[in-house]
């Protein structure tokens, strides 16, 4: 089995992990924090990597898991803050809607439209979101996505179909409300 050096792994995958986390979290600081978490997890469990899949697939899996965990914990905190504000009658700053995210890597003329798409992606269920991000934004093949998500190729296909359908519905409603 091939042995991996942490420094080399970091150099080879740092941008991949950071950019993937950014697509999930839609916030540069959060993406940086989770990138740290991902590499700490990689460092601590590198000895457990059996080489059954490609190292990049394994890293993708860790990054996806950490990003989704962070999103869930953020949602939990928001819910808790909301409940707390009911009991304490305080007017805390609770954002129920995600603020617009302008990805620095998007070309200027697409900035507004891309931010709408990011808001729509954010609304997708975890599995559909992962399938969509890995396919559309990371350009992974169905079999690579299946390996990352530990599901079959046909499940990936069906998740992508549902994700695209949900995005269309969301964008349709958004158009009716804001663009018409």
Partner 1 sequence: MNTKQKWINEVENSLDGLNSLEVNPYLYSKIINRLNERVDQTSPKIIWASIASFVVIITLNVFIITTSKSNAIENNSDLQIVAKQYQLINENTINYN
106 token code pair? 């998007």
Under 8 Å CB-to-CB from 41, ≥6 apart: which residues? Answer: 62, 66
Q: What is the DSSP string of the chain?
A: -----HHHHHHHHHHHHHHHHHHHH--HHHHHHHHHHHHHHHHHHGGG--SSS-HHHHHHHHHHHHHHHHHHHHHHHHHHHHHHHHHHT-------SPPP---TTS-GGGHHHHHHHHHHHHHS-HHHHHHHIIIIIT---HHHHHHHHTS-HHHHHHHHHHHHHHHHHHHHHHIIIII-
- Min. distance of Cβ 79 from partner 1 in angstroms? 28
Instruction: Mark the segment that binds partner 1 (CB under 8 A) among 45-53, 72-80, 110-118, 148-156.
Output: 110-118
Instruction: Mark the segment that binds partner 1 (CB under 8 A) among 55-63, 83-91, 111-119, 123-131.
Output: 111-119
Instruction: Mark the segment that binds partner 1 (CB under 8 A) among 32-40, 52-60, 61-69, 89-97.
Output: 32-40
Among candidate residues 80, 94, 106, the one with its CA nearest the CA of residue 26: 106
Asked if 10 interacts with partner 1 (CB under 8 A), we say: yes
Asked if 108 interacts with partner 1 (CB under 8 A), we say: no
Kindly identify the residues of this chain, within the stretch 43-102, that bind partner 1 according to CB under 8 A. Answer: 43
Asked if 104 interacts with partner 1 (CB under 8 A), we say: yes
Asked if 146 interacts with partner 1 (CB under 8 A), we say: no
Instruction: Mark the segment that binds partner 1 (CB under 8 A) among 36-44, 51-59, 64-72, 83-91.
Output: 36-44
Asked if 168 interacts with partner 1 (CB under 8 A), we say: yes
Number of chain positions touching partner 1 (CB under 8 A): 34
The residue ranges that bind partner 1 (CB under 8 A) are 10, 14-15, 17-19, 22, 32, 35-36, 39-40, 43, 103-107, 110, 113-114, 116-117, 120, 136-137, 167-168, 171-172, 175-176, 179-180
């Amino acid at each position: 089995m091939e042995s991996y050096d942490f420094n080399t792994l970091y150099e080879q995958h740092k941008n991949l992990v950071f950019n993937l986390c950014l697509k999930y979290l839609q916030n540069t600081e959060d993406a940086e924090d989770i990138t740290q978490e991902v590499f700490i997890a990689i460092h601590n469990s590198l000895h457990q990597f059996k080489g059954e899949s490609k190292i990049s697939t394994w890293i993708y899996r860790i990054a996806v898991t950490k990003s989704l965990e962070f999103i869930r914990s953020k949602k939990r905190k928001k819910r808790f803050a909301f409940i707390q504000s009911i009991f304490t009658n305080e007017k805390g700053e609770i954002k129920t809607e995600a603020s617009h995210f302008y990805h620095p890597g998007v070309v200027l003329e697409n900035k507004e439209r891309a931010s709408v798409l990011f808001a729509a992606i954010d609304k997708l269920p975890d599995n559909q979101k992962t399938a969509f991000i890995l396919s559309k934004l990371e350009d992974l093949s169905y079999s690579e996505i299946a390996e990352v998500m530990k599901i079959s190729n046909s499940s990936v296909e069906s998740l992508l179909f549902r994700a695209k359908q949900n995005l269309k519905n969301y964008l349709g409603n958004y158009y009716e409300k804001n663009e018409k």
